[in-house]
Structures are given as structure tokens and as C-alpha cells.
Chain A
């Protein structure tokens, strides 16, 4: 008898509902979209292929202890018992803390941890147990600036959500939702139908990207091909144009805003005529966008990872919200709002409130999890002896952060490197202890991270679809066991739901309540769009800070003008690297699935516009060196007409050094993160974001 288990996907923000079939032996035989789920959506092939990852022969099954020198590229590991691994990790962490203080232990949280409610809550709790402020995460590679922009504008972690279902006009920047399924916005995969519906009801989407993506089709909307890294100036010009054409909602601004004059003064530095060279978009086109925005009944803006990574994501995110607010579209149907959902409560979030004294001086950041220390600083802090131990939670900074080579060298100097993961990835391969975690089909969970980002707000619970195989354990338990062994944790939380339960209790819910509901799903009733003015504005004055003084203090406006002048002087044939999502790579998670590593997907080619290729006498398929002052990689060229001239693209998550993941290692692909600027002066102030997209590269033919 096959049993059907309702669960949901946990590889990206949409959390698509799934149905798993489990046979009598307790094995999962099939993973399908849960087509009956009340919120709808159809899971994509990446999520459904997670079953292959669940079954992967190369998964971690038992705690491993390194037997050879950490500098050796390939680890030689011995299986040890959980008792031994826990005890030894605890002893060594305790020794490091007692000799060097708690900040000598750093924690790096990878992206998968975000989709693991108990793992995430206990990841944060673990740092408190240890007493360390040395927190790092993948967020400074992809979106910490969104958090800081919200904190600056609203005083709380209120990343607003575009009301796509009702909008008449959407500017969609730095995003390819058709492939990446939206980020920091959570709706079960709709295969692009929400976007198509905008056009069908007479609205319009304007994509702004250096590439015509899979999302931009005759059914959705056209693309303005912007130069990489120029998003801020485009948005500033749109705001300025809206201002000079009298399109701003003065009443709303007066009622809820402070500092709008200064913000508009900043925008006025970038009229459409001035920015057309730097953005590559004609002034008339920029003005047409402003006119469309003004003419629309309700208009909104969605910016995502492509913008976040471009050196000024903080200002871009700030401008996007500011345009929406200044035109009266914030808190409006079809504009931007903060959907309700689980624990609909937004505490104040002061920017740069946490300080860490280091050999690099005082480093500051905004909060434990969301916008931590710059990953860029990690290698130097290890080299300087600030950090003696690193705990990597579902992370793979070696491949996903900037400067693989520098990080690899730094990691070899650590006294202790612990990796908690489901596979022996490149970072695990370099570790002293590798602790095997459960995958999402082996653990109970709720779709916790989606809260406040869902057009249809709901919370779903799932049991483990199957019991964990081998010695695998849930992340929360691995961490609390170590902390307990260290004497740093005395709590009683047998199932790990403690922190989640507190949140559920705010809505008078419990795990048991959810278990009893169809699809274990509770749908919340929507609240008025304008309730954000009550629930999200947490500055002392209760206003939207249009020109956040913290931004001024950090000098980011002057920095922006300096960058503008730098871009203005760039030669016409300069190349900038952007990151490109494909259907075959999901950060570095899906690297060991054979069906995702075949033919063209087995490597990581450089996508290059044919004109740029011709200028360099490079032909399709040629082997090229891609390089800049930070590094050099070799790969093959794919001519790609979807790119604007000057933009080149690769996919992140590729790279070698993970011998235990045999398929990934046989098809490593080039790692573009070796080219990412990796010095502290390239980090965006306040958000601590790496400049991981739109950085300069050169391309030359080899051989």
C-alpha cells in the first residue's frame, strides 16, 4: 500500500505544496505537485528533483572526523559516533572560547537553512548560546541590502511585497521570476501566470535587466536592457521625472514621510538626460517609464538579486520603495504592501546596532541573522587570528562567497571548522568535522520564512515524510546537543519547536492545530493593504524615513556619485559579469544530480553577446580566460543574443573541490566567484553586501 503524504518544497521562497508517495518499506517512490492544495501552485522540476538528492548515494550518513591535514584538498575522514563528534566539537569550541573569547567562533549560515524553521531559529539561538557576535551568512551575497533598506525606511524588518495580483504596472528589475520563482516574495510556483495576468487585464510589466530573460515574453512584457550595475541611476531618474512632472502624492508624503526633500534632491542629480549613458537607456525611454508609472491606476516595483548584487543594492531597494511611497502606491491595492501572516508583528530594527571589535577595526551590522558581517571579511579575519573556529550551517562559502582561493587558504589556518550539511560539499571537504543533517523529506517543518511575504498568507506544517536514514539528525538537535555538551544550553525542548511555538501562539495556533487541518495548512484572512502604516513604521516618530540619516552617515550617497563618475568614464567595450540563474543549478545544492549535469549543463560557460565576441575575435565554443584584478578562470564561450552588449553572464554554484560528490566533481565547471571583488573597500556600507554582480571582467581567447 502506497501512502500519500502532504508536504511542501523547501528549496526556495515559494514553498510549493507537494505530495509524496511512500511505500510499505518506508521509501519515497514519487514526489509530485500537491494539486489539491488550497493555495494552488505547481511545483517545478527543481523541487520535484529533490527526491534525487534525497536518494543520492553520495549523501552524508554519519558524523565524520578529519584524519589528515586541513590544508590537503581532499579530506580523509573517519566515521565517528554522534557522542564522539558532539563531545569533541563541544570540547574544542569551549577551549577556543575560553582562550580567545566567544567572538573567536564564527557562524556561517547558508541559504538552505532559511527553509528549515527549527534549524533557522536554533541557528540564531546557537550563536547566543555561544555568546558570539561573529555572524556571517549567504545573505551578504544575495539580499542583506533589502533588509537594511527596509530598516532605514520603516524602522523594522518590513520588506514590502509588490501586489502583483492587482497591479496595473510593474517595474521588474534584476530578476527572472520564471526561472528563479521570485525571491523575498512567496507564492507557490505559477509558471509565470501572475505575470501574464498583468498584461491580460490591461496592465504592463517593464523588465529592466541586462538580459532579455525567460520571464520577458510577448505574454508578459518587454525588457529595457540596462547596463549592469546602473540600476540606482535608472530609479533615481524615474523618481526625478515623476517629481518634475508633478506625479508625487504630496498628501501621502506630508502625512507619512520625513526627509522627502533631501531624497528628491539626491534624485535630481540624476535626470534622465544625465544617466542615459551610464544606464544605456535613452532618456526618452526612462521618461516613458515614469509616464507609465504615473498613468497606471496602481503601480509597483520589484527588485531582486540582480540589483542587490550590483554594489548599490541598498540604494536601489531604497529608491524602489521610495518611488512607490512617493506616488501614493505604498499600502495601496496594486501597489506595495505588507501582507499579513504568521506572527504579523514587526519589532524595531535599528541599523548597525551590533558592533564587533576586530583587527580590521570596528565592524557593525544590523541583526543576527538577516544582515550580518560581510562574508568578504571572513578570510582576512581568519588570517588575522580574530576567528579561530567556524561553524558552517548548511553553507558552502568556499564556492558561493567571493574569493574561493583566499577562503580555502584561510580555512586551512582555522583551529576548527565544523560543517553541518546534507552533502559533503566543498566547505565540508575542508572541515575538521562534518555532521550529517536531515534533508527536507526527513524533517518536520513549517514554511516559516514566507511569513509576511505571501499574497495568500498561510502557514503549512509537514511531518517528516520518512524517518531520517542512517545517522542523519535535524540541524536544531545537532546544535543544541553541542551547546548542551559545552554547558552553554540548559533548555528543555525535546522536539525543537520551542521558538516556533512562541510564534504560532501569537496567532493562537499550535503544531497540533496545524496537523489537524487539511494539507496541514492554515490560511489567514487578508488585512487591509494600508495596515502597514500601523504595523511596520517603527521609527520613534512613526514615519517613513525617506532620506535615512544612517545612510547619510555611512556616506553612501557620496559613494553613489563617485561610482556614477567612474561608470561614466568607462570605455564603451567594458565587460561586466552578471549572475544568471538556469533551470539546472540551484545555488550549489543540485550539483550532484546527474540529470542536471549533462551536456551544456555539465560546465559553466561564459555567456557573451555576439558583438562583444566579434570585437574580441572570439567564436562560439572558444576557450577563454575570464579575469580581473581579483582572479582568473577558464571556460568556454556561449554566444548569447539575449545579453546586452557589455554584459557577460555565468551561473554561480559551480566549482571543484568536492570529491565526495562524485557527479559534481566529475563536472565541476568554472567558479565565477573567484572573480568577485574580495577586498573590504568593495563591500556596500551598512548592508555589508558583496559586489557579486556587475563587476568588471576581461575576456580573452586562450589556445
Chain B
């Protein structure tokens, strides 16, 4: 099963840089990145290589079946992001840590 990015994600895109199949979005070269809350893994393109897991500086990436209970819904969140990828992402202007 694919890997899933969960809530601690801080959009440090080390995962995206090491992903060999380019299945993590949004890319920092895209405008969407500037308003992203987090990054997401496309479950249909992930090859389960796990390279992103330790590249993530905040340990936010899990194999889908090993998601901690509080974050199991992130499997759907990641999938959903790509279903909605064509849709515009609103500008979130307020400060967020």
C-alpha cells in the first residue's frame, strides 16, 4: 500500500526531492505550493519505496496500513487532494506556524 503524509507535515519538500517517481505534490516550483498546508502523496503513483519516510524531517510519512489511529483519515486526504488537484487552492494569508 502507498505511503501517506500526515498532519505534522511542514512542507519541507525533502520527500519530493527524493521521490523517484515524482508522485508528491505540490512542487515548490508551482504557485500552489505557496498556499499549501502540507504536501500529499498520489497513492496511484507511489511505488512504496519508502525513500520519503526518513527524508521527512518531522516523521510525518507512514505506510498506509501503519498510520497511527489519529491520522488514518489522511489516506483519504492524500487521495482526495489529487482528485481535486485541478481545482484552485485558496490563498491562506494568515500566519501559520
Contacts and interface: CB of A to CB of B under 8 A. Distances in A.
A339 interface: no
Contact of A42 (B17, B47, B55): B47
Given A49-B20, A595-B17, A601-B54, A191 B49 contact: yes
Interface in A198-241: 214, 217-219
Given A48-B20, A595-B18, A599-B14, A583 B53 contact: yes
A170 B85 CA distance: 43
A618 B17 CA distance: 33
Interface string A27-66: 0000111000000001111101100000000000000000
Contact of B18 (A45, A217, A219): A45
B51 A598 contact: no
Interface string B45-76: 00111110111010000010110000000000
B20 A217 contact: no
A315 B86 CA distance: 60
B65 to A, nearest CB: 6
Interface in A577-595: 582-584, 595
A34 to B, nearest CB: 12
Nearest to A49: B20
A204 to B, nearest CB: 18
A670 to B, nearest CB: 18
Interface residues of B, number: 18
B54 A45 contact: no
A407 to B, nearest CB: 30
A33 B54 contact: no
A583 B20 contact: no
A45 B57 contact: no
A44 B65 contact: no
Given A45-B20, A595-B18, A33 B51 contact: no
A32 B51 CA distance: 15
Contact of A583 (B14, B50, B57, B66): B50
Interface string A554-596: 0000000000000000000000000000111000000000011
Contacts of A46: 51
B48 A191 contact: yes
Nearest to A594: B17
B36 interface: no
A600 interface: yes
A45 B66 contact: no
B14 A33 contact: no
B51 to A, nearest CB: 4
Contacts of A178: 50
A598 B14 contact: yes
Contact of B47 (A49, A191, A582): A191
Contacts of A217: 63, 65-66
B20 to A, nearest CB: 4
A387 to B, nearest CB: 40
A504 to B, nearest CB: 32
Interface of B: 14, 17-21, 47-51, 53-55, 57, 63, 65-66
Given A45-B51, A218-B66, A584-B54, 9 more contacts: A33-B21, A44-B49, A44-B51, A45-B19, A217-B65, A218-B65, A219-B66, A583-B49, A598-B14
